[in-house]
Amino acid sequence: MTGYAVVDVETTGLFPGGSDRIAEIAIVQVDSDGQIEGTWTTLVNPGRDLGPQQIHGISASDARYAPAFGDVAGIVAELLRGRTFVAHNAQFDRRFVWHAFAEVGYDVPLIAPTTLCTMRTGAQLFPTAPRSLAGACFHHGVTLDSAHEALSDARAAAELLGIYLAHGARNVVPDWDDVVELAATTPWPMIPVTGAAPVRRGVATERDAHFLARLATACTSPVTTWEKEKYLQLVDRALLDRHISAREHDQLAEFCAQVGIGRADAEALHREYLTGLAAVAWTDGTLDPTEAADFLAVAGMLDVSEADAQDILESPQGADPNAGSASATDQGSSRFTLAPGDLVVFTGAMDEPRDVWERRARAAGLVPHPAVTKKVRLVVAADPDSMSGKARKAESYGITVVGETGFVRILDKLARSARPAAGITTP
């Protein structure tokens, strides 16, 4: 099938052939006259951290559901075969796609002589127009719905291609017809098409149920003290950054399934956890609005109604005068703690440079460490669901993984500590 395949990729970085990978790919098929024929897109699990997430906006909670490139290589090949590869700044996208195929064992004919670039073509046809995709779209009245989302960028580039074809690109760009003919006649290797389904952004919202919803309605035997304590520790670790990541939802659900904690048991333990948290908040005899807001936020994450949470907060000792004391004691033993000298590992492309975070850690008495070992106390990731090697190793060791916001909270707690030499408790 002759025509064009307009491609856009979002990536973990700038350097194909090294450690950077495709995280999202979109292909818009365009006929020889510039009319859009069809679209296809998927997130791609890069098997590592997602790099500059503040640019491409892909979350690890979504990417973990995505197929690896090798699982969709067959369909990508079918969509590209016989068509001229087109992209805005085509060298970038073409090299990433070529390397992705090479990594799964295929040498595909994605080369400069079979590629056209809408950025270069636009500059030749309209020398005064902006060269960036967003600028070119604005200049030509093309809608760019969501920059740095692969399908949006590819569709916009496809519309630019149609405009350029209508303005005589074939006659202005040297060897245009030769490029199209070579792309149409150059054979591709036969790559099996698997049953892997494409995955779009937002899939985690659709698929990730709250861990409570995954539990059996009731347990088959009483919860032991060890099981209760371990569960409260997992809850506390998950809430350290005031965000229960997809990974932590999985961990909590899996632990409950292993030891037989049912939903009713978990809900009771959540109320106990909140009772202890309220007791800590009332330690100084006052409760400021910030503490109250934080408490209610935690209650929401544990699926405790606001009305029930308010009752616990207003009467932290509970209806049973002995229950609150026991809960507070249990809470104290289960809370996550850090102490000066604890090892901290950083992973992923964070909003601020790594050396800035390391300086802040050292100033708080913590020790930045280059690798995850069983002695490491905390891993700070750009995304709490990071798929980096460090984050995966931390998970296997049971080491807490938090995001940047959670780490800021920890540093604030350490800074407010009146006894810097003692263990620091983070409620």
Domain containing residue 129: CATH number? 3.30.420.10
Average pLDDT of the chain? 90
Closest by Cα among 5, 1, 2 to 161 = 5
* Listed residues 203, 224, 245: the one ending a domain: 203
Query: What are φ and ψ of residue 220, in 5° steps?
Result: -95, -15
Q: What pLDDT band is residue 322 in, cutting at 50, 70 and 90?
A: very low
* Listed residues 314, 334, 354: the one ending a domain: 334
Q: Examine the domain organization and report whether 296 and 188 are in the same domain.
A: no
Amino acid found at 280: V
Q: Examine the domain organization and report whether 297 and 414 are in the same domain.
A: no
> What's the CA gap between 133 and 155, in Å, rounded?
11
Domain interval for residue 396: 338-425
H-assigned helices in 209-245: 225-238
pLDDT in tens, 172-230: 998 999 999 999 999 999 999 998 999 999 999 888 889 999 998 866 678 899 999 99
51 near 13, Cβ under 8 Å? Answer: yes
Residue 422 has what pLDDT? 45
86 near 118, Cβ under 8 Å? Answer: yes
Q: Examine the domain organization and report whether 117 and 184 are in the same domain.
A: yes
Q: Examine the domain organization and report whether 59 and 199 are in the same domain.
A: yes
Model confidence at 317: pLDDT above 70 = no
Q: Examine the domain organization and report whether 149 and 242 are in the same domain.
A: no
Q: Examine the domain organization and report whether 288 and 345 are in the same domain.
A: no
Q: Examine the domain organization and report whether 229 and 362 are in the same domain.
A: no
Q: Examine the domain organization and report whether 290 and 215 are in the same domain.
A: yes
* Two structure tokens written together for 242: 């005031």
> Whole-prediction pTM value?
0.84
Q: What pLDDT band is residue 324 in, cutting at 50, 70 and 90?
A: very low
Q: How many structural domains does the chain have?
A: 3
Higher pLDDT, 146 or 71: 71
Residue 321 has what pLDDT? 38
pLDDT (average), residues 338-354: 92
Residue 56 has what pLDDT? 95
Q: Examine the domain organization and report whether 214 and 175 are in the same domain.
A: no
Q: Examine the domain organization and report whether 15 and 158 are in the same domain.
A: yes
* Listed residues 293, 313, 334: the one ending a domain: 334
Residue 409 has what pLDDT? 86
Name the burial class of residue 286, with classes exposed (0-12), middle (13-18) and buried (19+) by CB atoms within 10 angstroms of its CB. Answer: exposed
We report the CATH number of the domain holding residue 398 as: 3.40.50.10190
Q: What pLDDT band is residue 280 in, cutting at 50, 70 and 90?
A: confident
Residue 376 has what pLDDT? 97
Model confidence at 79: pLDDT above 50 = yes
> What's the CA gap between 117 and 24, in Å, rounded?
19
Q: Examine the domain organization and report whether 330 and 344 are in the same domain.
A: no
Q: Examine the domain organization and report whether 181 and 260 are in the same domain.
A: no
Amino acid found at 209: A
379 near 370, Cβ under 8 Å? Answer: no
pLDDT (average), residues 92-121: 97
> What's the CA gap between 426 and 409, in Å, rounded?
9
pLDDT in tens, 129-177: 999 999 999 999 999 988 899 999 999 999 999 999 999 999 999 899 9
